[in-house]
Amino acid sequence: MKLALMAATLDRAARIDHLTSLANRKTFFEEAEAIVGSEAFREGAVLFIDADHFKSVNDTFGHAIGDAVLQEMGSVIRSSIRERDLAARIGGEEFAVFLVEAGRDKTLEVAERIRQNMRGVRRAVGIEDREITVSIGICVHGPGQTLNNILLRADQNLYVAKNRGRDCIVATTGFGPLFA
C-alpha cells in the first residue's frame, strides 16, 4: 500500500507542475501529440500564453508574490477551459493550452476570456497597483499540420503579440494569415 502511494506521488510529480497544478511541459507535449495523432482528432488549437513584464513583478514584490501570481494565473486558465482541454505551465511565466474540438470562433472566445480574467489576478494576490496582463499566440489546427507546425506557429504569433504592445491575442488558422 505504501509503495503504491509513493509510486502515485512520484508519477504525479513527474507530470504536474508543482506550483500551478497544471500539466508540466513534458506532459503537455506528450498529451498534445497523442491528441493530434488520434484518429478521432478533427480540430483543435494551441494557445501560448505569456505574462507581460513578469520580471518586474518579481523584482518589485519578491518571488513569493511572483509565485502567487503564477498560481492564480494557473487557476484562471483552468477555470477558462473545458475539462477535456489540456493546460500546462511550460516554463517560467509561460503557459500552453490545447483546445480539443475547437475551431476559430471558440478558440478566440476562450483566449479572450483568459486575457480578460487575468486582470483579476492582481486583486487575488493583493497587488492592486500593478496590472497583470498576458499576450496570447494561437494557431488553429489546419489540414495537414503536424503538432510541431501548430506549436511553431502559435509561438510565432505570441512574439507578434508581444511586439504589438502586449495584452493582446494574435492568431492564425493553419498556415494562413493572422486574423486577430
Residues 6+ apart with CB under 8 A from 108: 138, 169, 171, 180
Whether 93 is catalytic is yes
Question: Which amino acid is present at 107?
Answer: T
Whole-number Å distance between alpha carbons of 65 and 116: 21
Cα torsion 165, 120, 138, 106: sign: negative
The backbone torsions φ and ψ at residue 156, rounded to the nearest 5 degrees and listed phi first, read -60, -40
Q: Which of 30, 31, 33, 93 is catalytic?
A: 93
The enclosing H or E element of 139 equals: strand 134-140
The residues annotated as belonging to the active site are 93
